[in-house]
């Protein structure tokens, strides 16, 4: 972990729809090049939350949306407070919310996630960890949504 790096809270995002016309909201953090180039964040952790949709919007139903927001806030506090992990992108739609984190230590990040989970009832999430030292998935995400890192 490089404590000299500054984590800005600059996000780009938008709302659109997939090929079937289902609404999708995306956001990704800008100005992460220093974290990428440091080589200290080689692992991506994706957390997927399968939610019940509000039929009108295809987004999370209001009660579940509040729990999802509280979970995200707790994760940010647990993982980013010392820059152990960095939230890079979030996508919501089609009955799922996905957070993509880059971490300096996957085992430590999982322990922190487990600690957060103790504060919630059983959640409909899955967690996947992949090696992505060049942040290829992050750049692919940005390319899919027309931005630049």
- Per-residue pLDDT of 30-73, as tens digits, reads 889 999 999 999 999 999 999 988 676 778 888 899 999 999 99
The predicted pLDDT at position 20 comes to: 75
Assign a CATH topology to domain 11-144.
Alpha-Beta Plaits (3.30.70)
Find the length of the chain.
Answer: 149
Average pLDDT, the chain: 89
CB 34 within 8 Å of CB 4: no
Q: What is the pLDDT of residue 2?
A: 54
Provide the pLDDT for residue 41: 97
| Residue 100, strand partner residues | 46, 89
Instruction: Please count the other Cβ atoms lying within 10 Å of the Cβ belonging to residue 116.
Output: 17
The Cα–Cα gap between 34 and 23 comes to 32
pLDDT attached to residue 148: 46
**pLDDT exceeding 70 applies to what percent of the chain?**
93
**List of the chain residues with pLDDT < 70:** 1-3, 18, 54, 56, 146-149
Considering only CA atoms, which of 15, 44, 35 is closest in space to residue 105?
Answer: 44
Ranges of each domain in the chain: 11-144
User: Please, is 3 exposed, middle or buried when counting C-beta atoms within 10 Å of its C-beta (0-12, 13-18, 19+)?
Assistant: exposed
Rounded distance between C-alpha atoms, residue 54 and residue 95, angstroms: 9
Q: Which pLDDT score, from 0 to 100, does residue 9 have?
A: 80
Paired residues of 43 in beta bridges: 103, 131
CA 112/CA 106 separation, integer angstroms: 10
Q: Which two tokens stand for residue 48?
A: 């997927």
């Amino acid at each position: 972990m490089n404590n000299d790096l500054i984590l800005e809270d600059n996000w780009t995002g938008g709302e659109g729809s997939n090929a079937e016309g289902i609404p999708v909201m995306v956001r990704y953090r800008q100005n992460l090049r220093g974290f990428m180039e440091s080589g200290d964040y080689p692992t991506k952790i994706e957390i997927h939350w399968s939610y019940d949709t509000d039929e009108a919007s295809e987004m999370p139903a209001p009660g579940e949306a509040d729990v999802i927001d509280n979970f995200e806030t707790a994760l940010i506090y647990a993982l980013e407070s010392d820059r152990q992990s960095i939230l890079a992108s979030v996508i919501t739609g089609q009955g799922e919310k996905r957070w993509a984190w880059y971490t300096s230590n996957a085992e430590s990040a999982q322990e922190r996630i487990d600690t957060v989970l103790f504060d919630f009832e059983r959640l409909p999430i899955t967690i996947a960890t992949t090696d992505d030292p060049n942040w290829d998935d992050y750049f692919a995400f940005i390319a899919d949504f027309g931005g630049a890192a």
